[in-house]
């Protein structure tokens, strides 16, 4: 018997009448889901480029909150978004999220004080968990034969975003300052709202429940938020600082309390029986770790590129942001192209083998980056190897989740993967900065990093990838969504 969710589908998904081939309507539908999903990645790049302008405009030493506010709001809301999507349909929740996202970025762009900017970013954070719904929606609205490839294309499109966003960020920030970046995000989020409203059909509800576990959601979201906050601040506060330890303990206690609450809740916000299944736990953990590496390492490589080259003091390459954007075209194109190829192969071959092959290549690639990153040619060649694997990872992770959960559990699976990427991302980033700090030189209060530190952050990425590979070897054969979705709702195999 195949375990099923405790919340079977209430209504049947409206599937397009096709034989499993791509049609113009399906292409538009994919764009409508991919645009708002990958806008999150673009927003991260634009926000990073706008941070210095915000600090200077408002003369604040607390500019870290410009990005952190959005991240914490998104983390807190993710459990609620997962459940609301199952209760009321994902399209309705997506529309609310994109509307609030556009409103928040508009408020931040218009703000005349730093705290009002933060209020706008907090509201914009409602849009943050969009990926928890969009990948799950693919299974609801695409023909079963195209679920894996559509998910893969949507995931791999992050390479295209990484290709264009640095140039866009430079143009906006150089021409209009930080407000230019925020106005663009507001307009792009409004476009996302329009695309979802016009092109995405309502998805089926996947829950009979009328109650809602608000307490469980707040405790889970609050616990995750506390841990992410502590890890994010640990480097500046110090890992032994009472504030860091206090937030870590508070977050850990909240997560433990959440487990107790869910066991006795009549309407649990997360179905823990699903998460306790070995295939689900393995796929989510391996997928979260591997995607964390794929998303985090390129951002850390920007430090290497932009920090100055001062012999004996700083081992950065000393590039301009524009030069870095030009050089990074190579590996971002490789990531996008590999992801598209992998999305096609996922329909024909065992997704586990493709996934594991991608992990091997990514681990080898980042090992090589650690050894060879001293100039444009070295960094481009080694990063292209790493991003061959990363392209497979971003395309394969959604297919991995599809293969271990039922259709009714897809929202839970995608949402948990989203939460783990946020959590692992904070931990890996903090670990990378700790590694850099261990091999640094401080000049007039500014830390400059030496080459050994840069090497070790890439080797850290390779090590995390190897851990994901080791877990992936124990994932059992995956479900076929075409066969799974062909059965009546609630049927077991």
Tens-digit pLDDT profile for residues 248-303: 999 899 989 988 887 777 777 777 788 888 999 999 999 999 999 998 898 788 87
Sign of torsion over alpha carbons 300, 163, 130, 175 = positive
Q: What is the pLDDT of residue 292?
A: 93
Nearest by Cα to 169 from 65, 325, 317? 325
Q: Cα angle vertex 170, ends 169, 175, to 5°?
A: 105
Instruction: Show the 3-state SS of the chain.
Output: CCCCCCCCCCCCCCCCCCCCCCCHHHHHHHHHHHHHHHHHHHHHHHHHHHHHHHHHHHCCCCCHHHHHHHHHHHHHHHHHHHHHHHHHCHHHHHHHHHHHHHHHHHHHHHCCCHHHHHHHHHHHHHHCCHHHHHHHHHHHHCCHHHHHHHHHHHHHCHHHHHHHHHHHHHHHHHHHHHHHHHHHHHHHHHHHHHHHHHHCCCCCCCCCCCCCCHHHHHHHHHHHHHHHHHHHHHHHHCCCCHHHHHHHHHHHHHHHHHHHHHHHCCCCCCCHHHHCCHHHHHHHHHHHHHHHHHHHHHHHHHHHHHCCEECCCEECCCCCHHHHHHHHHHHHHHHHHHHHHHHHHCCCCCHHHHHHHHHHHHHHHHHHHHHCCCCHHHHHHHHHHHHHHHHHHHHHHHHHHHCCCCHHHHHHHHHHHHHHHHHHHHHHHHHHHHHHHHCEEEECCEEEECHHHHHHHHHHHHHHHHHHHHHHCCCCCCCCHHHHHHCCCCCCC
- What's the whole-number mean pLDDT along residues 418-447? 80
- What's the whole-number mean pLDDT along residues 336-363? 90
Task: Please tell me the distance from the alpha carbon of residue 155 to that of residue 159, in angstroms, as a whole number.
Answer: 9
- What's the whole-number mean pLDDT along residues 205-230? 77
pLDDT at 488 over 70: no
Q: Which of 54-58, 170-174, 365-369, 406-410 has the highest mean pLDDT?
A: 365-369
Task: Please tell me the distance from the alpha carbon of residue 128 to that of residue 151, in angstroms, as a whole number.
Answer: 19
Q: What is the pLDDT of residue 487?
A: 52
Residue 105 tokens read as 């970025």
Residue 457 tokens read as 């952050």
Lowest mean pLDDT among 8-17, 77-86, 90-99, 255-264: 8-17
The answer to whether residues 380 and 327 touch, using CB atoms and an 8 Å cutoff, is yes
More confident residue, 411 or 26: 26
Q: What is the pLDDT of residues 43-65, one digit of tens each?
A: 888 887 787 788 878 887 676 67
As beta bridge partners, residue 309 has 315
Lowest mean pLDDT among 262-271, 376-385, 468-477: 262-271
pLDDT at 6 over 50: no
Neighbours of 290 (CB within 10 A): 32
pLDDT at 485 over 90: no
Q: What is the pLDDT of residue 7?
A: 36
Q: Which of 74-83, 145-154, 243-252, 296-305 has the highest mean pLDDT?
A: 243-252
pLDDT at 13 over 50: no
Q: In the structure, what pLDDT confidence band is assigned to residue 92 with cuts at 50, 70 and 90?
A: very high
The answer to whether residues 124 and 100 touch, using CB atoms and an 8 Å cutoff, is yes
More confident residue, 402 or 456: 456
Q: What is the pLDDT of residue 280?
A: 92
Q: What is the pLDDT of residue 272?
A: 78
Q: What is the pLDDT of residue 104?
A: 95
pLDDT at 68 over 80: no
Please provide residue 386's backbone torsions phi and psi, each rounded to the nearest 5 degrees.
-60, -40
Lowest mean pLDDT among 104-113, 166-175, 252-261: 166-175
Nearest by Cα to 221 from 261, 185, 265, 190? 261
How many residues are recorded in the chain?
493
- What's the whole-number mean pLDDT along residues 321-325? 81
Q: What is the pLDDT of residue 486?
A: 52
Q: In the structure, what pLDDT confidence band is assigned to residue 1 with cuts at 50, 70 and 90?
A: very low
Note the pTM of the prediction, 2 decimals.
0.79
Q: What is the pLDDT of residue 4?
A: 38
Q: What is the pLDDT of residue 57?
A: 86
The answer to whether residues 227 and 423 touch, using CB atoms and an 8 Å cutoff, is yes
CA atoms within 13 A on the CB side of 62: 7
Q: In the structure, what pLDDT confidence band is assigned to residue 484 with cuts at 50, 70 and 90?
A: low
Q: What is the pLDDT of residue 300?
A: 82
Nearest by Cα to 438 from 239, 295, 260? 239
Residue 81 tokens read as 């978004």
pLDDT at 12 over 50: no
Q: What is the pLDDT of residue 493?
A: 40
Taking all residues of the chain, what is their mean pLDDT, rounded to a whole number? 84
pLDDT at 492 over 50: no
The answer to whether residues 225 and 122 touch, using CB atoms and an 8 Å cutoff, is no
Q: What is the pLDDT of residue 110?
A: 95
The answer to whether residues 212 and 87 touch, using CB atoms and an 8 Å cutoff, is yes
pLDDT at 235 over 80: no
CA distances from 358 to 57, 137, 178, 334, 443 (A): 44, 25, 37, 13, 41
- What is the Rg, in whole angstroms, of the alpha carbon atoms belonging to the chain? 22
Q: What is the pLDDT of residue 384?
A: 95
Give percent of the chain with pLDDT exceeding 90: 32
- What's the whole-number mean pLDDT along residues 200-205? 83
pLDDT at 18 over 60: no
pLDDT at 128 over 80: yes
Please provide residue 167's backbone torsions phi and psi, each rounded to the nearest 5 degrees.
-70, -40
Task: Please tell me the distance from the alpha carbon of residue 195 to that of residue 71, in angstroms, as a whole number.
Answer: 24
CA distances from 263 to 79, 123, 211, 216, 250 (A): 16, 32, 15, 10, 20
pLDDT at 435 over 80: yes
pLDDT at 3 over 70: no
- What's the whole-number mean pLDDT along residues 200-209? 74
């Amino acid at each position: 018997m195949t375990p099923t969710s405790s919340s079977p589908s209430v209504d049947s998904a409206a599937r397009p009448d096709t034989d499993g081939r791509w049609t113009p309507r399906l292409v538009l539908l994919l764009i409508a889901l991919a645009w708002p999903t990958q806008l999150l990645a673009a927003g991260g790049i634009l926000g990073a480029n706008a941070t210095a302008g915000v600090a200077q405009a408002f003369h604040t030493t607390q500019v870290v909150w410009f990005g952190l506010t959005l991240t914490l709001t998104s983390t807190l809301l993710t459990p609620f978004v997962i459940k609301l999507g199952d209760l009321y349909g994902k399209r309705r929740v997506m529309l609310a999220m994109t509307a609030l996202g556009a409103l928040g970025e508009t408020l931040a762009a218009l703000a005349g004080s730093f705290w009002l900017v933060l209020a706008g970013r907090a509201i914009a954070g409602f849009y943050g968990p969009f990926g928890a719904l969009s990948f799950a929606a693919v299974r609801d609205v695409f023909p079963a034969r195209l679920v894996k490839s559509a998910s893969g294309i949507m995931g791999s499109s992050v390479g295209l975003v990484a290709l264009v966003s640095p140039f866009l960020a430079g143009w906006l920030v150089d021409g209009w300052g930080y407000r230019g970046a925020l106005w663009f995000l507001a307009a792009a989020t409004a476009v996302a709202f329009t695309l979802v409203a016009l092109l995405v059909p309502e998805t089926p509800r996947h829950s009979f429940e009328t109650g809602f576990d608000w307490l469980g959601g707040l405790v889970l979201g609050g616990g995750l938020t506390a841990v992410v906050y502590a890890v994010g601040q640990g480097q500046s506060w110090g890992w032994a600082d009472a504030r860091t330890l206090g937030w870590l303990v508070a977050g850990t206690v909240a997560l433990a309390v959440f487990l107790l609450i869910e066991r006795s809740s009549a309407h649990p916000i997360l179905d823990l029986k699903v998460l306790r299944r070995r295939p689900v736990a393995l796929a989510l953990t391996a997928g979260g770790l591997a995607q964390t590496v794929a998303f985090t390492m390129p951002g850390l490589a920007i430090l290497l590129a932009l920090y100055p080259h001062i012999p004996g003091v700083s081992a950065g390459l000393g590039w301009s942001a524009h030069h870095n954007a030009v050089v990074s075209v190579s590996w971002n194109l490789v990531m996008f192209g590999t992801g598209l190829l992998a999305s096609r192969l996922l329909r024909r071959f065992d997704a586990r083998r493709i996934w594991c092959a991608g992990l091997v290549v990514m681990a080898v690639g980042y090992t090589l980056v650690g050894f060879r990153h001293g100039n444009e040619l070295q960094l481009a060649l080694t990063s292209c190897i790493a991003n061959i694997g990363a392209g497979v990872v971003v395309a394969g992770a959604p297919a991995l989740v599809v293969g271990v959960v039922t259709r009714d559990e897809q929202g839970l699976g995608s949402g948990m993967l989203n939460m783990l990427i946020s959590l692992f991302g904070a931990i890996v980033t903090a670990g990378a900065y700790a590694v850099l700090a261990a091999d640094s030189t401080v000049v007039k209060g500014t830390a400059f990093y030496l080459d050994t530190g840069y090497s070790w952050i890439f080797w850290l990425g390779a090590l995390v990838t190897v851990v994901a590979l080791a877990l992936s070897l124990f994932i059992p054969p995956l479900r076929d969504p075409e066969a799974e979705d062909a059965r009546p709702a609630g049927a077991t195999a």
